[in-house]
Structure 1
Amino acid sequence: MATCIHFLCSAFSHFIVASLILNELVRCKTLKRDVKALNEIKASLGWRVVYAWIGDDPCGDGDLPPWAGITCSAANENDYRVVTGLEVYAVSIVGPFPLAVINLVDLTRLDLHNNKLTGPIPPQIGRLKHLKILNLRWNKLQDAIPPEIGELKQLTHLYLSFNNFKGGIPRELANLPELRYLQLHVNRLTGRIPPELGTLQNLRHLDVGNNHLVGTLRELIRFEGCFPSLRNLYLNNNYLTGGVPSQLANLTNLEILYLSYNKMAGIIPFGLAHIPRLTYLYLDHNQFLGRIPDTFYKHPFLKEMYIEGNSFREGVKPIGDHKYLELSDSDFLF
């Protein structure tokens, strides 16, 4: 009788354990690899995310919603979900880039902007092969931009501005065929802008302003057919020299050209005024000479043109009124 009771108790115990395991499996359907990585991230980020990351399943278990800032895929053929998005921004995260992020290999979006992350971006970032958006701006990240970012072939948006990156702009960024937006402004980048960036067929926005870059515009656009989709080009507040080459007029989709606060010189070519969609032109605080071509005055879309802080000759023809043009130092226009 005692043996029978012992057998029944043992069987019941195994049933309870099995039920608990089964319940856990049913309740937590996020891939274990991703759960482990997110728990490591949770531990490294501390109280700033603990209050919003509740429960055992980052993707939600039916009773609890997904963790804040976590996006997951639908269940796959094995009835598991994977983490595809991690967005934890503007919560004053302090410390190094959380290395466990590298294990979330199905990420398509990584957004940790407006925090206080320090140190380098780990070179293992190249493992995130599905990443489309990488937003790390407004942090305190340092050292060089890792060339391994050039391995993220699906990347469309790269935001690394407002950090403390040093060294050159990696040429490997030209290996990103889908890249549309590249923001590297307000860092401590040095050297020349890689002209290979001009081969990016989809690049619409390039901002490398407020760095310590050198070189000339002629070097940047030396490739025939370069920057075919570029709309916005920000090169301001660097140490660029040389003139404005006439080939710049070949960038027919250009809308914003920002060259302020460099050391550029020479005359402004007439062809620049024939860029059909040019809307904002900033030439101020350089060493330009000569006169502003009258064709700029007649441009149908140009709204703003800043020219102060140069050595343009005084014009003899009054400007008159223009319903689009809002100019500074208009006495120097011809």
Structure 2
Amino acid sequence: MAPRWAFSAICTLSLLLTLAHSKTLKRDVKALNEIKASLGWRVVYAWVGDDPCGDGDLPRWSGVTCSTQGDYRVVTELEVYAVSIVGPFPSAVTNLLDLTRLDLHNNKLTGPIPPQIGRLKRLRILNLRWNKLQDVIPPEIGELKRLTHLYLSFNNFKGEIPKELANLPELRYLYLHENRFIGRVPPELGTLQNLRHLDVGNNHLVGTIRELIRFEGSFPALRNLYLNNNFLTGGVPAQLANLTDLEILYLSYNKMSGTIPSGLAHIPRLTYLYLDHNQFTGRIPDAFYKHPFLKEMYIERNALPTRCKTYRCP
């Protein structure tokens, strides 16, 4: 019997030979060459030849991942980040219909995300953070039903957060902080059964937490909730304690008021609680000082008395 390593080597060689003799889908070749032309010299030096999946002695283009489907190779991942790409979002990307990952973060892309983004039905990860993208988020982004990770932070997006994001049943991580969003956080996001991380901090959002969690069973899997540095008002509703998986609650730098409900201290996994720079009054419930997992509780710049001199409890 052949050793296990020999069998593995044969499988690897077979895969390489399959890739070598497969043709790259013309649609993907055309799209990547259009992208190459639009991105300029920053990627040209690393993208040699006409075939992004490699051709003969030429390797596949850097940042491009291909896989075989039948007799053809298709582009499944495109990662071109931190190379100071300047210019509008490359619309030809939306012709790469087999993409599962698109990562263009930490560049200098401008303009809007084209509505054709909704064509990428297989996309699971979309990372566009740290660019200079503008305008509103197109509602067509809600057509990316397989999306699990969406990173749009540190851009110049404006308008309201589209409620169509609630149409993404697999979404787990949603990063929208450091933009110019206005209006309210759509309560429809609370219907996302798999959402673990929601960050809308550092925007111009208004409204109350009560409005955000108004649906019964809202945010059943949420672990981290960042609402800081906005213009939220109202109090901390007792219903927030129903988010039993919550570990981080960040409400700093808003205009919230009222007392802190003791129910928050009974969220079993709560580890970090940020309430500073608001208008809270009353006293801190004793239960917070006995919480087994609470590591830090920031309450400065409110009207709350405290026995924690460093404003960190316990």
Instruction: Identify the residue that residue 138 of structure 1 maps to in structure 2.
Output: 130
Corresponding residue for residue 269 of structure 2: 277
1:294 has 2:286 as partner: yes
Q: Deviations over 1:167-226 (max 9, x none)?
A: 000000000000000000000000000000000000000000000000000000111111
| Alpha-carbon shift at residue 27 of structure 1 (Å) | 6.4
Write the distance in 2 (CA, Å) between the matches of 1:274 and 1:329: 20
Residues 231-310 of structure 1 mapped to structure 2, 5 A cutoff: 231-310=223-302
Secondary structure at the residue paired with 1:179? Answer: coil
TM-aligned CA deviation for residue 29 of structure 1: 1.3
CA distance in 2, matches of 1:228, 1:181: 14
Work out the CA distance in 2 between the residues paired with 1:329 and 1:121.
Answer: 42
Q: What is the alpha-carbon distance in structure 2 between the residues aligned to residue 329 and residue 82 of structure 1?
A: 55
CA contact (8 A) 1:213 1:238 kept: yes
Distance 1:270 1:39 in 2: 59
1:77-88 aligned within 5 A: 77=70, 79-88=71-80
Matched, 1:39 2:33: yes
> How far apart, in 1, do the equivalents of 2:59 and 2:246 lie?
45
Cα distance per residue 1:42-91 (max 9 Å; x no partner): 001111001111123211235222100001112x22x2110011110000
Give 3-state SS (helix, strand or coil) of 1:202's partner: coil
CA distance, structure 2, for counterparts of residue 197 and residue 151 of structure 1 = 15
Asked if the contact 1:29–1:57 (Cα under 8 Å) also holds between the matched residues in 2, the reply is no
**CA displacement at 1:103 relative to structure 2:** 0.6
Paired position in structure 2 for 1:182: 174
The whole-number CA distance in structure 1 between the counterparts of 2:138 and 2:90 is 16
SS at match of 2:43: helix
Please state if 1:200 is matched with 2:182. Answer: no
Instruction: Give the 3-state SS of the residue equivalent to 2:33 in structure 1.
Output: helix
**1:65 aligned onto 2:73:** no
Secondary structure (helix, strand or coil) at the match of 2:23 reads coil
Between the two proteins, the alignment pairs up a number of residues equal to 295
Cα distance in 1, alignment partners of residues 22 and 52 from structure 2:
8
Do 1:28 and 1:56's aligned partners in 2 also have CA atoms closer than 8 Å? Answer: no
Q: Distance in 2 between matches of 1:224 and 1:201?
A: 12
Amino acid at match of 2:153: S
In structure 2, C-alpha distance between the alignment counterparts of 1:328 and 1:200, rounded to whole Å: 37
Gap regions ≥5 residues in structure 2:
1-19
- Percent identical among aligned pairs is 83
Q: 2:111 matched to 1:119?
A: yes
Deviation digits for residues 87-108 of structure 1 (CA, Å, limit 9, x no counterpart): 1000000000001111101111
Which residue number in structure 1 is paired with residue 4 of structure 2?
none
Secondary structure of the residue aligned to 1:233 is: strand
Q: 1:27 to 1:53 in 2, by over 3 A?
A: farther
79, 88, 106: which one aligns with 2:98: 106
Q: Which has the larger radius of gyration?
A: 1
After superposition, the C-alpha distances for 1:18-55 in whole angstroms (9 at most, x for unaligned) are xxxxxxxx767110110000000000111100111112
For 1:46 and 1:186, how far apart are their aligned partners in 2?
A: 28
| 3-state SS, counterpart of residue 167 of structure 1 | strand
Please name the residue that 2:310 is paired with. Answer: 328
Structure 1: state its 5+ residue gaps.
Answer: 1-25, 320-326
Please give the alpha-carbon distance, in whole angstroms, between the structure 2 residues aligned to 1:36 and 1:127.
17
- Structure 2 counterpart of 1:311: 303
Partners of 1:122 and 1:225 in 2: CA distance? 34
Q: Is the 8 A contact 1:307 1:328 kept in 2?
A: no
Matched residues in 1 for 2:21 and 2:238: separation? 64
Residues of 1 paired with 2:105 and 2:80: CA distance? 8
Pairs within 5 Å for 1:51-62: 51-62=45-56
SS of the equivalent of 2:77 reads: strand
TM-score, length-scaled by structure 1: 0.86
Q: TM-score, normalised by structure 2?
A: 0.91
- In structure 2, the CA distance between the partners of 1:71 and 1:95, relative to structure 1 (3 Å rule), is same
Q: Runs ≥4 in structure 1, deviation > 6 angstroms?
A: none
Paired position in structure 2 for 1:21: none
RMSD between aligned alpha carbons?
1.5
Distance 1:80 1:73 in 2: 8
CA distances 1:128-183 after superposition (whole Å, capped 9, x unpaired): 11110000000000000111100000000000000000000000000000000000
